[in-house]
Amino acid sequence: MSTFFVTGSNGFVGSALCNRLLSQGHRVRGLVQPSFPGYPVTGLEILEGSLEDCEVLKRGAEGADAVIHLAARAHVLKETETDPLIAFRAVNVEGTRRLAELAAKAGVRRFVLMSSIGVNGESSAPGAAFSEKDPPRPESPYAISKREAEVAIRQISSSTGLEFTFLRPPLVYGPRCPGNFLRLLKLVKLGLPLPFASVSNRRSLIYVENLVDAISSCALSPAAANQLFLVSDGEDLSTAELMRRLARLMEVPSRLLPFPAAPILAAGKLPGLRALDKLLGSLEVNSARIRETLGWRPPYSLEQGLSATAQWYEVTAIP
């Protein structure tokens, strides 16, 4: 049995991870913000606080075999900060640095950071999936802060011996998913005619249960020490095909109309329609390294993940 300190433990990914680790017989402490209700996890040792609370972070790291850092300032649709990058850096860079330094002092063996595929870039070229060998090309303030967090942890590792593992996932989906995938579910459920049939992009996704399985492997496997992994379900598809599959699973008609892709992609770059661009652009991930290094395979297929997500949306999210 190992002891883990998980930040963001009551979030979408964090709660699924904690449930997985607890089911494996591990001891899990979770950092939660009192202002964020999130999703309760039975059996979790709760520590209330933020990444600014050094004493709370010390208690979480003390005696832990690994710190799994999921908490972050995420994408904000209606940004109110004058300089968003400053706000992202305060949490995602300085908060991460603070936690890693305290983890190293506490004798923690490994620090697992949930980074972002955005560190590689916003979109991949046709037939050229992102890999760990690509030079970082973050564009958004969020992705820039995640890249800087990786750099900070590498520096701490080199001076303290703290092992690290970075994971850069693409869009994460599953029951209780937020963000762009939830918006896509709502769009499909409406059953309205949509001009997406001609969109021939390619996208990688990862089911939340596959992601937490990968995180668990990274926290436990000696081979994951000081590694960067890109991770996905391993089955890429177009947004049009994704919408057709979701429509079939939710038993609604798939009314996708042929329409030139260029105007749609251009519309996605207009103010307020950035999310559309994210769904229609290509973003492919090559996850060969984690499979070869750790022998990891996603335990669930894309079809199984989409089915579970559609069932949740039908039962829970629809009035």
Distance CA 31, CA 60 (A): 8
**Strands 45-48 and 66-69, bridge-based pairing:** unpaired
Task: Give the C-alpha distances (Å, rounded to integers) separating 5 from 24, 30, 63, 100, 305.
Answer: 15, 6, 9, 12, 27
Tokens of 240: 């049009």
Other beta carbons less than 10 A from residue 35's beta carbon: 7
Residue 144 contacts by C-beta under 8 Å, 6 or more apart in sequence? Answer: 85, 88, 138
The closest alpha carbon to 216, from 294, 147, 150, 154, belongs to 294
DSSP 107-145: T-SEEEEE--GGGT-S-PBTTB-B-TTSPP---SHHHHH
Distance CA 67, CA 112 (A): 6
Is 300 a residue of the active site? no
Other beta carbons less than 10 A from residue 289's beta carbon: 17
Tokens of 74: 């995420």
Q: Which of 39, 142, 300, 313 is catalytic?
A: 142
DSSP 25-83: T-EEEEEE-TT------TT-EEEE--TT-HHHHHHHHTT-SEEEE-------SS---SS
As annotated, the active-site residues are 142
